Amino acid sequence: MSSPDTFAHVRAESLFVDDLPEPAGTLHAAVFGSPVAHGAIRAMDVESAAMAPGVIAIFTARDIPGENQLGVIIEDEPLLAEDEVHYVGQPIAVVVAESSAQAREAVKRIAIDIDKRPPEFDPRRAAARGDLIAPARTLSLGNVDEAWARCATIVAGRVDSGGQEHLYLETQAALAIPEARGRMRLYTGTQSPSVVQRVAARILACPMHNIEVEVQRLGGAFGGKEEQATPWAAMAALAAQNLQRPVKLVLLRHEDMRMTGKRHPYSTDYRLGLDGNGRFLAFEATYYQNSGAAADLSPAILERSLFHATNSYFIPNVQITGMCCRTNLPPFTAFRGFGAPQAMFVMESAIAAAAEILNIPALQLQQANLLRPGNELPFGMRIEGDASRRSFETALARFDVKARREEIARHNETSPYLKRGLAIMPICFGISFTNTTLNQAGALVHIYFDGSVSVSTGAVEMGQGVLTKLRRIVAFALGIAETRVRLESTNTTRVANISPTSASTGTDLNGAAAVIACRLIMERLKTVAAALHDTTPERIAIREERVWIGDTCGPLDWHTLVQTAYSQRVDLSAHAFYATPDIHYDKKNEKGHPFAYHVCGTAVVEARLDALRGTAAIESVQIIHDAGRSLDLLVDRGQVEGAVVQGIGWLTIEELVHSPEGRLLSDSLSSYKIPDFHFAPPRIEVDFLEDPSAPGAVMQSKAIGEPPFMYGIGAFFAIRAAMRSVRDIPCDLIRAPLTNEQILRQLEGLPPAE
């Protein structure tokens, strides 16, 4: 059954922040950002801007009544720069005018004098001089130093992966409305309502209960609105409080691209050792994460990189080190996969290098080293279940990989310019916030007199279908039709202390809390029904909106039961709380059990290469994916397909380009390529793993949003396999994205361009 949101979307009736009716007297804000990447502010002249038509006020750091600080993990990022600037586009002032056009025109009149300092954009150089956002972290398993002597083959190299623009449909936006008694209502497009609430209260020097954050839906996010929706809401709130008028701030596309962070670029050195049978014995890696100018979520993202460094493989001896390197670019931030794709790409690059040196198929090494039940991961958690191996072997058989490899080899021998390549991409992705504290959620359920149901949770709908799944969960828990259930907007006054809707945990956490709330009410309803039927509550069940006594369907329906309970003054509301059990992590010893479960799967990716032109395309992606007991196959299939295309885009066409001065050059859709309908593989086939089990997830469904992104990594190696049918491609330096320009360079025998 389609959700109400689906109908609203296709009819263009859905309201996003910029669509909301503006209260009378609403003003509009625009942001003045730093024109240079690094320097000290000597002076700023806003007089001309203040005199511009329609301008009401201009706010700078000195107008902030509270603390000028955005940082949540590390407090190192001001809302508005005061003495120094650290990246091009860093907000310095907020101009408020009668219209957005007037505000932007006034921004152009601001004059600033900055003593420029040499910027740094390279994470390796930043690390060399000790400019780290947080101390380096190292995870280890076994004894790497001792293992090298036992290796028959050792490969080493460097892997660089680029950033990625979120390019959500709805840009960053907020509407701040001052209310009586010092209250402030914020309509904002954020994945983290409580973070916006907390930071706005910090900026305005007021208690959090004075800030109400309302989130109806997001026009996409992909992680880009987890932390980075916060400053724009806080700026709008600052202006609204000072002027006591509503203030709206909506970034234009090029402003959004220039002033917000992207996926983290990584540069990594690795070494992989194998025994004579192709078994991995040792793995060592150092990850240089380009974190940008401030922490944002970089330490947490690096942690997940370390947790996923070995992907789907067991390696008994591991030593991996990660560093958050401070540079003069906008703070990089969360993006689908949250650091895991960068680490998995390194692992697959190491396997490709070993396979090429040994002159054997990469899938032979992959299959020989897949995780088995009980295998220990570098951070101490042991693998449960055998989904990694089952999905891999199922994919090989179902998609006829052996015969296709042979057919591709024959094709490449006879076709001088049009080549094909095949790659296998297994994944193993942990589900839970790596910050244990965040693995909690609340839910508020009301059953009304007419039998309809209202549900409030902390889950934010951003196109991923979480509300569809929550509606289904609640309907199932109450034994009623989904049409009776309404999911309310996300609001910090109905549900407090909301964890972000990210890490693929939205359904798991909020769904589990909603189930608990439903059970509390159901216990009361069963007591009422039992008294009416002269039986015990244990014998009562509600299915298909009827009251059942044991195996017998009774005369009482849902509507009558609810009205009876109400007449008996039975509470038909419940708040419930859920905290993921049995997860923990000791950062001192770097050991623990940080995930509730893992999601596994395998993709078979086939590429086509025109060696004469240096162009490539992905012909097909066929996937065996473990989604547990899917709550909605259509939603899950859509998430897998969308994630795969996004992953392919990251590694093949999406390229961030900056000027030598640190200005983003790929700041529009004319200069930044993204996957579109024509780019997507003509064939994407998704089969869900049979006989799944997911004891750590709600209703045995498994998280779906992030894991499939990593299947896109297979596209890089499928194209590389096709390229190697033309000439040997060195494996000591692997760099993504593998754009057409890079393909042509390497086919001509040149190294990948910086």
Res. 694 pLDDT band, cuts 50 70 90: low
Neighbouring residues of 496: CB distance < 8 A, sequence distance ≥ 6? 194, 442
pLDDT tens-digit readout, 194-219: 999 999 999 999 999 999 999 999 99
**Mean pLDDT value across residues 680-707:** 87
**Mean pLDDT value across residues 489-498:** 98
List the structure tokens of 397: 């058989």
Coil/strand/helix, residue 5: helix
Task: Give me the amino acid identity at 85.
Answer: V
Res. 9 pLDDT band, cuts 50 70 90: confident
Same fold, 266-434+588-747 and 440-579: yes
Q: Which pLDDT score, from 0 to 100, does residue 252 have? A: 98
Residues recognised as catalytic: 706
Confidence check: pLDDT of 341 > 60: yes
Query: Across all residues in the chain, what is the average pLDDT?
Result: 96
Res. 724 pLDDT band, cuts 50 70 90: very high
Neighbours of 715 (CB within 10 A): 31
- Taking the C-alpha atoms of residue 586 and residue 189, their distance in angstroms, rounded to an integer, is 34
* Spans of all domains in the chain: 25-118+166-259, 266-434+588-747, 440-579
Q: 440-579: what CATH class?
A: alpha beta
> Burial of 71 by CB count in 10 Å (0-12 exposed, 13-18 middle, 19+ buried)?
middle
Tell me which residue of 492, 670, 513 sits closest to 576, measured CA to CA: 513
CATH (residue range 25-118+166-259): 3.90.1170.50
Res. 2 pLDDT band, cuts 50 70 90: low
pLDDT tens-digit readout, 251-297: 999 999 999 999 999 999 999 999 999 999 999 999 999 999 999 99
Q: Is the peptide bond before 65 cis (omega within 30 degrees of 0)?
A: no
Res. 7 pLDDT band, cuts 50 70 90: confident
Tell me which residue of 611, 582, 606 sits closest to 595, measured CA to CA: 582
What percentage of the chain has pLDDT greater than the value 70? 99
pLDDT tens-digit readout, 305-336: 999 999 999 999 999 999 999 999 999 999 99
Which residues of 404-545 form beta strands (DSSP E)? 418-431, 440-447, 453-457, 485-487, 490-491, 540-543
Q: Which pLDDT score, from 0 to 100, does residue 631 have? A: 93
Coil/strand/helix, residue 155: strand
- Taking the C-alpha atoms of residue 247 and residue 25, their distance in angstroms, rounded to an integer, is 9
Q: Which pLDDT score, from 0 to 100, does residue 690 have? A: 77
Tell me which residue of 648, 646, 658 sits closest to 718, measured CA to CA: 648
Res. 692 pLDDT band, cuts 50 70 90: low
**Mean pLDDT value across residues 604-613:** 97
pLDDT tens-digit readout, 47-99: 999 999 999 999 999 999 999 999 999 999 999 999 999 999 999 999 999 99
Res. 127 pLDDT band, cuts 50 70 90: very high
- Taking the C-alpha atoms of residue 483 and residue 2, their distance in angstroms, rounded to an integer, is 10
Q: Rounded to the nearest 5°, which phi and psi values hold at 498?
A: -80, 130
Coil/strand/helix, residue 104: helix
CATH (residue range 266-434+588-747): 3.30.365.10
Which residue reads 């005018």 in tokens?
A: 97
Q: Please, how many CA atoms are within 13 Å of residue 209, restricted to the half-sphere of its CB? A: 1
pLDDT tens-digit readout, 349-385: 999 999 999 999 999 999 999 999 999 999 999 999 9
For residue 436, give the DSSP letter.
G
CA angle, 561 then 565 then 567, to 5°: 115
List the structure tokens of 691: 């006989």
Q: Which pLDDT score, from 0 to 100, does residue 695 have? A: 66
- Taking the C-alpha atoms of residue 104 and residue 52, their distance in angstroms, rounded to an integer, is 10
**Mean pLDDT value across residues 449-478:** 97
Neighbours of 488 (CB within 10 A): 15
- Taking the C-alpha atoms of residue 751 and residue 148, their distance in angstroms, rounded to an integer, is 29
CB 484 within 8 A of CB 490: no
Strands 418-431, 597-610: pairing kind: antiparallel
Which residue reads 């589990």 in tokens?
A: 512
> Burial of 753 by CB count in 10 Å (0-12 exposed, 13-18 middle, 19+ buried)?
exposed
Alpha helices in 132-172 (DSSP H): 144-147
- Taking the C-alpha atoms of residue 483 and residue 642, their distance in angstroms, rounded to an integer, is 28
List the structure tokens of 403: 């015969």
> Burial of 156 by CB count in 10 Å (0-12 exposed, 13-18 middle, 19+ buried)?
middle
